[in-house]
């Protein structure tokens, strides 16, 4: 069993970004990323902090805008509009999830698609479906594909099962795997799938993105399969100082014994998401 090192592959992506940023700076262009955080969600604050640190490391101009939890829809929309018009900003990211009274879809649609480095705007979703390279690919699925490619795992002709159908991971992941970048045969499974275990056992590659801790167990995985675990869940653990531990959507210890390769949690897909966000921001800056 090979443990796929997300940190190592993410560093390769970051190194690519560094050389591209150096070239841009010669031309007088500094890539800029703005992150908008509404409210006090602790997990969101951690993510935003990690993104800001990565920007600093790379020499990307980083702008963090924090709004109170009771900020109105109009206030958030105005911030987005200001960033759309800011020539120093190449990428805009509104941290998800916002407070319940905020219409997240409307916020996403308000972002200029050319600055939508998350790849969630309808224009970029359409470009992904059409395999139009001028669009932005969502960071987490793109990171998963890059992990497979850089680890030398053959996706062409492989049978892949994506567990989960969200717009953030499941649907774009399926599109990437079935498109010219992946050339796989793809099944999208979810909570309503009949005999999910049997569907998963057919897979050469399983992408688990269902948001349930340790959901994928050994009986769902055939010998020699590759498992990419997108999940990150907090579960109580009294032995830890924090009172919790992080686990994926895959029961790692039991599934790892059957796999040819698997991503750990943490240290698998997570670092790739931030690396691909930086890559999208650099691509956006290069199109200025």
Asked if residue 169 lies in contact with residue 230, where contact means CB atoms within 8 angstroms, the answer is yes
> Alpha-carbon torsion 225, 211, 10, 83, what sign?
positive
| Torsion angle (degrees, nearest 10) of CA 51, 54, 58, 59 | 60
DSSP at 115: G
The residues, any chain, with a CB within 8 Å of residue 94's CB and separated by 6 or more, are: 35, 36, 38, 76, 80, 104, 107, 108, 111
Q: Residue 36 in 3-state DSSP?
A: strand
DSSP, residue by residue, 180-218: TTT--EEEEE-TT-TTHHHHHHT-SEEEE-S--TT-B-G
**Residue 95 among the catalytic residues:** yes
Q: Catalytic residue among 51, 115, 127, 171, which?
A: 51
- Given the residues 20, 90, 95, 171, select the one marked as catalytic: 95
Q: Known catalytic residue: 51?
A: yes
Among candidate residues 90, 116, 118, 229, the one labeled active-site is 118
> Could you give the CA distance from residue 169 to residue 171 in angstroms, rounded to a whole number?
6
Q: Can you name the residues that pair with 186 across neighbouring β-strands?
A: 160
Query: Annotated catalytic sites, by residue?
Result: 51, 95, 118
């Amino acid at each position: 069993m090979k443990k796929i090192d997300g940190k190592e592959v993410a560093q390769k992506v970051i190194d690519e970004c560094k050389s591209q940023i150096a070239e841009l700076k010669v031309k007088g262009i500094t890539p800029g990323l703005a992150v908008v955080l509404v409210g006090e969600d602790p997990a969101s604050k951690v993510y935003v902090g990690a993104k800001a640190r990565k920007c600093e490391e790379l020499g990307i101009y980083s702008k963090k805008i924090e709004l109170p939890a009771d900020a109105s829809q109009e206030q958030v929309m105005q911030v987005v509009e200001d960033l759309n018009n800011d020539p120093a900003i190449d990428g805009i990211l509104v941290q998800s999830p916002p407070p319940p009274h905020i219409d997240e879809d409307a916020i996403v649609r308000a972002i200029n698609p050319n600055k939508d480095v998350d790849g969630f705007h309808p224009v970029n979703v359409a470009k992904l479906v059409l395999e139009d390279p001028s669009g932005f690919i969502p960071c987490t699925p793109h990171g998963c594909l890059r992990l497979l490619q850089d680890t030398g795992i053959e996706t062409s002709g492989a049978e892949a099962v994506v567990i989960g159908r969200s717009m953030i991971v499941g649907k774009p992941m399926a599109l990437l795997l079935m498109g010219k970048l992946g050339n796989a045969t793809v099944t999208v499974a979810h909570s309503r799938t009949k005999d999910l275990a049997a569907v998963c056992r057919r897979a050469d590659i399983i992408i688990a993105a269902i948001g349930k801790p340790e959901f994928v167990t050994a009986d769902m995985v055939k010998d020699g399969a590759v498992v990419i675990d997108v999940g990150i869940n907090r579960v109580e653990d009294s032995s830890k100082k924090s009172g919790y531990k992080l686990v994926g959507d895959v029961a790692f210890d039991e599934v790892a014994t059957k796999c040819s390769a698997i991503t750990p949690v943490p240290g698998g897909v997570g670092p790739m998401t931030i690396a691909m966000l930086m890559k999208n921001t650099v691509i956006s800056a290069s199109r200025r």
